Each structure stands twice: as C-alpha cells, then as structure tokens.
Amino acid sequence: MKKTLLLLLAIGFSLACQASSGSTGSSSHPDPGPTAPQAKIKVNILLKEQSDAAALSREASRFPTKDARRSFVVNTLKRQAEASQYALIAFLKELEANDMAEDIRPLWIVNSVSCHVDEALLPALKQRADVLMAYPCEELASLDDEGSLPAVYGNGREIAENLLKVNADKAWELGFTGQGVVIAIIDTGVEMSHADLQGRLWDGGTAYPHHGYDFYSHDDDPSDTQGHGTHVAGILVGTGASGTQTGVAPDAEIMVLKVFHGEDNLSEATLWVEAMQFALDHGADVLNMSLGQPLPNASVKLMLRQACDNTLAAGVVAAVCAGNSRQIQMLAPVPNNIWSPGDCPPPYLHEDQMVNAGGTSCVICVGAVDNNDVLGGFSSEGPSTWTDVTQFNDYPYVSGSPTQIGLIRPDVCAPGVNIKSLDYNTSNGYCLNSGTSMATPMVAGTIALMLSKNRELTPEQIDEILERTAVPLSEHKSNDFGAGRIDALAAVNAVTPDALGDPGLDTALVYPNPAKGAFTVTCDDMRQIQVYSADGRLVLQVTPSNNPCRIEGLSSGFYLISIVTGKGTVTKKAVVL
C-alpha cells in the first residue's frame, strides 16, 4: 500500500500528540496569559451544552415530511449554538484583537468552536466553565487505498463489473436511477471536467459556483488534486459518457465537499464535521464518507459521534467506510480496528445486535469484498466499542463474551477490489482502485436508487432494507461482512413507493427507540396496540385511551409493535434497553 508508511507514522504521531481534557475550573474569563505573539495551533473547543439527539429526533417526528423534520432540527441546533457560544466567541474575539487567536469557526452540528490560538492559551480554554474539553486538532493521513492502476476505455456499451454484481442495472430498468437525489461527497474533491460527470454536479448557485466547497483551504474551489474523490464520484454517478458506465446512481447529483490537503492526504476531523454541517444545511440527501481516522482519541470520537447522532436526528443517512486496517492489527487490534466515524452505530439495530444494544446514529458502515464475494484482505474488522467515551458508554466489548459483543461493524459490504472508475488525471479516462473507500459509494449509490423511489425513507428504513436484502455471506451479521453484500435490485424492490403509502399508516411512530424502560406509540385513528416479544409471544395488549400512548413495564429486549388502526395494521420495531 503506497500510503501505509505515512499512515503508520501519522497514527504514531496521533497517539503521541493528541490530548483532551474536561473542564477543571469555573472561571469564564481566565487570564489569557502571555500577550506576545506565539506559534498558533488549531484547537477544537467542545462546549458542555450539547444537544440530546434522541429527544431532538422525537420532537422532529411531529412534522409531516422529511424536509420539515430536517429544517426543524437544523434550526434548533443553530439556535442552541448561537446562544451557548456567545460568551466563548466574545472571549476568542478579544484574543483575536490582540493577535492571539484567528480563524474562529463556530459549528452547530456539534456545539463547538475551532480556531487557531497561541499554544500557551490551551490551558485557559480548558478551564472555562462553559467548556467540556479543548484539544489540538492533529492532521493525519486518513486515506489509505491500494494505489491506482490504469484501466482500458470502455466500448460504449460496457457496464462496470461491480455494478452488475449488485444488480444495479436491473434497478435502472425499473426506472430508478437516483434521479432527484443529491449525494454529498466528503473527500479530496472532484475533477469536475471529466466527461462522465457532466450534468451530474450539484447547482450551488452564485454562492458556490464550483458545485461545493473546500474546507481545508476555505474557498469555493473543491477541485481534486489527489484522485481519490474523483474515483469515488465515478462509482456514485459516472454516466459512461467515455465508454464505461461506472456509476450506481447515474442520474443523482454530487455535492463536492473537499476536506483534504493537496497530494499528501492530510486532514483532520473538524473539517469532516464542517462538511457534514454544510451538507445538512444545503439539502444533501445522502453523505458519502470514504474516509476515517484510525485509533482516534476519546475527544475526536465524541465529536464525530455527536455529529452523526445529530445528522440522524435531521433524517440524513451516511455511508461510511470501515477502513483498511485489517492487516495492521498489531497496531490497531479489535475493538479498535474500525476507523472513526465508521465505528459509530447504525440507524437500525439488527436482531443479532440486540444482546448488546445501544444508541444509534446516521452511519451505515461498509466493508469490502471482491467480485466473487471474497472478503478484501484490507477491510477493517469489527467490533467497535464506546465504553471509552464517557458521554456514551455503550456497546461494551469483552473478547469471547456472548453478551458483551461490542458494536458489530460493518453493517453491510460491497465490491471494493479492483474497481474501475474515473481517473482524475484525464477528462475521459479510467483507473482501478481498491479499498473500503470504493465499496462505500456502492452503498451510497444504492441508497440514492432507493430514495429515487421514495424520498421519504428514513435512515432507519434505509439501513434495515439494505441489511435485510443483502446477500448473506455469514450465518449471522458478522464483523467481517456485516449482514452481507448489498443487492441494489432487491433493496429497491423492498421500498414502498411514495404513491402507495397510506397516509394514515405512515403517521405511526414509536419513540424513543431504543428506549430506557418506556416508549411512546402514536398513530392516526389508533384502536389497539399489541406488543410481541422477539420469539413471537404476545406480551402486552393495550386499548389506548390517549394518543400518543405510553408503553411501560417491559423487560430489556427486542419487540414488534402491532398498531391496529381504522385503516389497517402497521408493525414497528422497538428496543428496550
């Protein structure tokens, strides 16, 4: 692997240098320290006040459409950040006026502020009463593929083998090609002059004339100078104009969000969070994150999971690579082999996870197989755990335990070995790449096909459909293959179209889910609620006197909730922790 040495060095640097700290004092305006100009470092400052994503999701569920729910969540997060960051930003601006701080960048998807400050000021920031933790942002090489190989031009009729493997072409024949769906590519940028991307670029208007943004350089030109992002873009939407159809969703659009520096692949996680925030704010339907940080510290994990939790609350799903660390387990052993944010939990909890259930987020984690469904030798191995992050403390892992199994990673797998897609060095060429980075857009593209059939699909529904329709490659959901290799045709066929959805039944909600002790059921014209255990036994039957109706008294486990209404019966799933 041509980037492995750089990656190993970067991980070692991370372990030696990254740090975090909780608040240790109560002063809101500590002495800023020396006033003489010093070397500035980039820091991220997480505030103590963070959103309750599960509660936010429950509130958002009252709105009738996906767009309305997203708008509510985004606006709520913005208001929270503006109010709670006021004093901190005022303090930072005082420092800026004295040349001790610069590039102050508030975030709302996670209530935090990143900035460059004199290194001597870091202890003062940690001591603020409103700060949970402040830590240096260390740049790492967070991409690691097998290197590009040249590929022949197509003959004008060729469909890439990986697309045929997942039956994407058969989904197109049904009329579902990703039309109307915007996919945000958080990556190295895109070579937008490539013929196979013409007509497939997001219209950012006069504010973003180059179809996205470069968060590393802070400008509106996210052109690719490395090649990774262009290859990913081709797997998502490559039209075949140059001879080979490479895109799973050839009629979707891509929003180009660059978070890496030039040819050295350096980046850091606050940039990824900024890009996620931009995608939510500008209407992206799906996030593709073929990136990740190996061995992140607790501060970075906290920030990334909080961002992914809030993204789920906003109703947006992310396909995220598992990482390519399987062969370096001496350095990154299980349960730390999965890259972050791929180690964040999925929107839907598979029944095999129920023995050790925890919270949920927007992340569908993707592993890689070849076109014979053989596991890629590089594809990172689960499980992951969150007991090292106090604010979450879920998915405990003990090797060999039948119950403390950690968080099963990945969720699904897809072809990711010798994948033919677009070469950024030309305007019409192709190349071959391997990695979970290549498998991830296979999943994001399949999600776009599903959304082109029903835009109102929730992240939970998307994930469940992908997992249940996947071709199983192991007896249970495993830490190698997840639930199996995706099948785009089966996934699209499992989606109920918008036009066939009954409005009365579509209002059915069960929340919070997972729940601690009690949950609430609501649905139009609700007549009866029947609760079944995982083995099919009727354990509770309720004739609701109120709508919504509170259900309590259930022991921990997985349940099916049958809601009988005047228009029919709808079944939901619930997890009691």
Question: Which has the closest alpha carbon to 322: 412, 190, 445?
Answer: 412
Q: Which residue has the tokens 């950024």?
A: 424
Q: What is the model's pTM?
A: 0.83
Alpha helix ranges (H) inside 18-159 = 53-60, 66-84, 86-97, 122-126
The C-alpha atoms of residue 414 and residue 452 are separated, in whole angstroms, by 20
Tokens of 255: 């929003």
Instruction: Give the domains, in start order, of the chain with CATH numbers.
Output: 22-65+76-137 (no CATH), 149-499 (3.40.50.200), 503-576 (2.60.40.10)
pLDDT given for residue 494 in this prediction: 93
The C-alpha atoms of residue 279 and residue 256 are separated, in whole angstroms, by 10
DSSP codes, 278-306:
HHHHTT-SEEEE---BSS--HHHHHHHHH
pLDDT given for residue 575 in this prediction: 84
Q: Are 181 and 248 in contact (CB under 8 A)?
A: no
User: What are the C-alpha distances in Å from 386 to residues 208, 325, 468?
Assistant: 37, 19, 25
Q: Report cis status (omega within 30 of 0) of the bond before 333.
A: no
Residues 144-175 pLDDT 10s: 555 566 676 666 669 999 999 999 999 999 99
Q: What percent of the chain has pLDDT over 90?
A: 75
pLDDT given for residue 17 in this prediction: 29
CA dihedral 158, 164, 168, 171 (to 10 degrees): 90
The low-confidence residues of the chain, meaning pLDDT below 70, are 1-38, 141-150, 152-157, 263, 498-506, 534-536
**DSSP letter, residue 360:** -
pLDDT given for residue 279 in this prediction: 98
Question: Which has the closest alpha carbon to 310: 515, 50, 83, 131?
Answer: 50
Q: Report cis status (omega within 30 of 0) of the bond before 335.
A: yes
Residues 194-240 pLDDT 10s: 999 999 999 999 999 999 999 999 999 999 999 999 999 999 999 99
pLDDT given for residue 506 in this prediction: 62
- Identity of residue 375: L
- HSE at residue 213, side-chain half, CA atoms within 13 A, is 18
- Identity of residue 253: E
**Radius of gyration, alpha carbons of the chain:** 23
